[in-house]
Chain A
Amino acid sequence: MIVVDRLVKSFPTMYGIMPTIKHFGRIPRREVLHSISLSVRRGELFGLLGANGAGKTTLLKMLATLSIPDSGTIQIDGINAVRNPMAAKRKIGLCTSEERSFYFRLSARQNLEFFGTLMGVRGKALRKRIKEVIGMVDLGSAMDRPFSGFSSGMRQRLTVARALIADPPLLFFDEPTRAVDPVHAEELRRMIRDDLVLKMGKTVVLATNLLDEAWALCDTIAVLKQGEVVACGPPNSLDTNFTRMLRYQIVVDQLDDALVERAKAIPGLSLFESSISAEGFVLDIEIAPSELSLTQLLSAVSSNGATVRAFRTETVRPIDIFSDLIRVTDDDE
């Protein structure tokens, strides 16, 4: 459905007439996306995940033909979106993260009528479709109120409704649950996953900062770090391939300096924290999966005369994987 090949994007480092004159029209540019390649299958829910400034929105805007890449190609359903943006736009519904993007003095219905007509839906079909989409985002009772009176969450839901008006096969969501209350956020997620993707077979690209949202919804996740895709795959493959450390919690009945020193000397053990609880001494440890460190640690505990009272494996959380992937190294800086 979408094939992005070696996409590069840069922005000018300054704006205005004086820098243009000073640099003879060639203002220095800063590269923000470096040779991005990815593909999204038809009917797939594809997540773009990254820290602030990673390039998610820039990439989404290029896919929506609102920004032109320096080089590289974007194919949307076989259409070259860079060369033929008008044809590509007919396939796309864009849900921006910009909740202001409506006419404040007009009602929600008037806004949707306007944007719906620009999307090519007219007359009875438009009125019918507006009724359907407002029902989907639970805004039926507010449709004739001015947009200026809408809360942030209602505005965000209206952007979702707008993206759906023309019933396009491809939907881009930029942080759709931002500013939405938990109940409606969950409903939106359910609608995206169950209704749009599973029932209607739409292809969705979802840019988000919310890890749990991405892990729960997406078939495939691409993690962006400073304009590069550092990982791409189904969430479970990211769990397997990108979790370098295993986490355990061990509770022992006694702990002394000798045991601490012996434990810290074990190769492959990257974190060793101790605390005291009602159960005993709690050791939080992080160990490389390929090492024999856990065995060594347990023998150290045993040879030191201590008894293991509890042993827990900590579940790998998306945040652990994400932090690992986007961790800024000295080289990056």
Chain B
Amino acid sequence: MSSTVVAAPNILVDRFSKAFAIFMRDARLAKSYDLQFYFQWFTIAIQVVAFFFIAKLTSGSPMVKRHVPGGDYFTWVIIGLAFSRFQTMAIQCFQMAVRNDQMLGTLEVVLATPTGLPTVVLSAGLWAFVLTSCQVIFFLLVAVPFGLNLSHTNFLTMIVFLILIVVCMSSIGVMAAATIMTYKQNAGTGFIAGSSASLLGGVQFPVSLLPLWLQKVSWCLPITHALNGMRDAVAGMSLVQTWYDAIWLCVATAILLPISLFYFHRAVQRAKMDGTLGHY
């Protein structure tokens, strides 16, 4: 029997190299669709300019002064728009990864390799999160000349909330991917997440404008607390001052992440039982 070339598995190195391989695959695929890749940066710039003029229209409005801290709607909405991209991306990237692999016929081959399911699933979001982080930075940089004020930002608070947004939203994204694995179709999770964030998450207008019962619904959404934390960070607040939203997100993550991974594992097991792993 010939010897195998597979090195003795050092679990950490093994997982890191596999995650990096998945990251590189996604980066290369994204780069290969170059028109789409470059166009998305252009749309970010357009969005910033559009909201600059909307903010000018509302400047001085008593409603803005009452509901937006500091009365600076432009800074407020840019933070909402920029960081809500993480939610959209987290919810879409995992299910798109599963869907693409199903359609290309690569899912079975990937799952036939000795790579753990959490590595396969969670690494599928790496490139998307790196790209989104770059887009958010670009979003903020473009907005600075138009009046975005980041001078008071508490970066520690921002980084902590960034991590919490990514992990918490990824849990929802993994659940969406599990649904794709089971039912082979997008159940509209991207649309639901996007519209719920726009309407109830305080992305484009303050939650305090909503009727009381909708404010209660808004409280249940991770995006609401994530954006509260981000806006507080931009306003210079410390982690101690933003503890409530941080704890909310930590608890939600602690509940959602294991549930989502368990749900995905069950979805794969079910697909293996039903012989539908490669179906789409």
**A118 pairs with B115, CB closer than 8 A:** yes
Question: Please, how many angstroms separate the alpha-carbon atoms of A42 and B49 in the complex?
Answer: 68
* B114 contact from A11, A89, A110, A122, Cβ within 8 A: A89
Interface residues of A in 62-87 (CB under 8 A from B): 64-68, 70, 86
* A103 contact from B6, B29, B112, Cβ within 8 A: B29
Given known pairs A115-B113, A120-B6, A120-B14, the reply for A42 and B274 (CB within 8 Å) is: no
A106 touches B (CB below 8 Å): yes
* B109 contact from A86, A162, A166, Cβ within 8 A: A162
Given known pairs A66-B108, A105-B33, A169-B2, the reply for A98 and B278 (CB within 8 Å) is: yes
Given known pairs A86-B114, A114-B24, A118-B115, the reply for A125 and B17 (CB within 8 Å) is: no
**A58 pairs with B275, CB closer than 8 A:** yes
Q: How far is the CB of B202 from chain A (nearest CB, A)?
A: 33
**A122 pairs with B17, CB closer than 8 A:** yes
Q: How far is the CB of A42 from chain B (nearest CB, A)?
A: 7
Question: Please, how many angstroms separate the alpha-carbon atoms of A129 and B278 in the complex?
Answer: 28
Contact with B along A107-119 (1 / 0, CB 8 A): 0001001110111
**A125 pairs with B5, CB closer than 8 A:** yes
Question: Please, how many angstroms separate the alpha-carbon atoms of A201 and B214 in the complex?
Answer: 68
Contact with A along B1-39 (1 / 0, CB 8 A): 111111101000110011011101100110011000000
**A119 pairs with B114, CB closer than 8 A:** yes
**A105 pairs with B6, CB closer than 8 A:** no
* B104 contact from A70, A104, A129, A201, Cβ within 8 A: A104
Q: How far is the CB of B128 from chain A (nearest CB, A)?
A: 16
Interface residues on B, range: 35 or more
Mark the stretch among A12-20, A180-188, A279-287 that contacts chain B.
A12-20
Question: Please, how many angstroms separate the alpha-carbon atoms of A167 and B4 in the complex?
Answer: 5
Q: How far is the CB of A226 from chain B (nearest CB, A)?
A: 17
A121 touches B (CB below 8 Å): yes
Question: Please, how many angstroms separate the alpha-carbon atoms of A11 and B275 in the complex?
Answer: 7
**A169 pairs with B1, CB closer than 8 A:** yes
Question: Please, how many angstroms separate the alpha-carbon atoms of A105 and B7 in the complex?
Answer: 29
Closest to A117 in B: B21
Which residues of chain A are near B273, meaning CB under 8 Å?
Answer: 67-68, 70
Q: How far is the CB of A178 from chain B (nearest CB, A)?
A: 14
Which residues of chain B are near A65, meaning CB under 8 Å?
Answer: 112
Tell me which of A98, A101, A104, A121 has the highest count of chain B C-beta atoms within 10 A of its own C-beta. A101
Q: How far is the CB of A103 from chain B (nearest CB, A)?
A: 6
**B18 pairs with A17, CB closer than 8 A:** no
**B29 pairs with A120, CB closer than 8 A:** no
* B2 contact from A64, A122, A201, Cβ within 8 A: A201
A255 touches B (CB below 8 Å): no
Question: Please, how many angstroms separate the alpha-carbon atoms of A125 and B3 in the complex?
Answer: 13
A90 touches B (CB below 8 Å): yes
Question: Please, how many angstroms separate the alpha-carbon atoms of A118 and B278 in the complex?
Answer: 18
B56 touches A (CB below 8 Å): no
**B274 pairs with A12, CB closer than 8 A:** yes
Tell me which of B14, B22, B29, B272 has the highest count of chain A C-beta atoms within 10 A of its own C-beta. B272
Which residues of chain B are near A110, meaning CB under 8 Å?
Answer: 25, 28
**A105 pairs with B32, CB closer than 8 A:** yes
**A120 pairs with B7, CB closer than 8 A:** yes
Given known pairs A89-B113, A101-B105, A167-B4, the reply for A15 and B276 (CB within 8 Å) is: yes
B160 touches A (CB below 8 Å): no
Q: How far is the CB of A170 from chain B (nearest CB, A)?
A: 10
Q: How far is the CB of B179 from chain A (nearest CB, A)?
A: 10
**B106 pairs with A103, CB closer than 8 A:** yes
Q: How far is the CB of A58 from chain B (nearest CB, A)?
A: 7
Given known pairs A125-B7, A167-B3, A169-B2, the reply for A102 and B21 (CB within 8 Å) is: no
Question: Please, how many angstroms separate the alpha-carbon atoms of A64 and B272 in the complex?
Answer: 11
A221 touches B (CB below 8 Å): no
Interface residues of B in 97-111 (CB under 8 A from A): 104-106, 108-111
Q: How far is the CB of A90 from chain B (nearest CB, A)?
A: 5
Question: Please, how many angstroms separate the alpha-carbon atoms of A102 and B116 in the complex?
Answer: 20
Which residues of chain B are near A168, meaning CB under 8 Å?
Answer: 4
Closest to B117 in A: A86
Which residues of chain A are near B6, meaning CB under 8 Å?
Answer: 90, 119-121, 166-167
B277 touches A (CB below 8 Å): yes
Interface residues of B in 42-67 (CB under 8 A from A): none
Which residues of chain B are near A225, meaning CB under 8 Å?
Answer: none
A100 touches B (CB below 8 Å): yes
Closest to B29 in A: A105
**B272 pairs with A67, CB closer than 8 A:** yes
Interface residues of B in 266-280 (CB under 8 A from A): 269, 272-279
Question: Please, how many angstroms separate the alpha-carbon atoms of A104 and B29 in the complex?
Answer: 9
**A86 pairs with B116, CB closer than 8 A:** yes
* A94 contact from B109, B115, B274, Cβ within 8 A: B109
Q: A101-B106, A122-B7 are in contact. List 9 more A-B contacts (CB 8 A).
A: A43-B1, A68-B269, A98-B108, A102-B106, A103-B29, A105-B33, A115-B110, A115-B113, A169-B2
Can you give 29 A-B contacts (C-beta < 8 A)? A9-B275, A15-B279, A61-B108, A61-B275, A65-B112, A67-B273, A67-B275, A70-B273, A86-B114, A86-B116, A92-B112, A96-B105, A96-B109, A98-B105, A100-B105, A101-B105, A102-B104, A105-B33, A114-B22, A114-B25, A115-B110, A118-B21, A119-B113, A121-B7, A122-B13, A122-B17, A167-B2, A167-B6, A201-B2
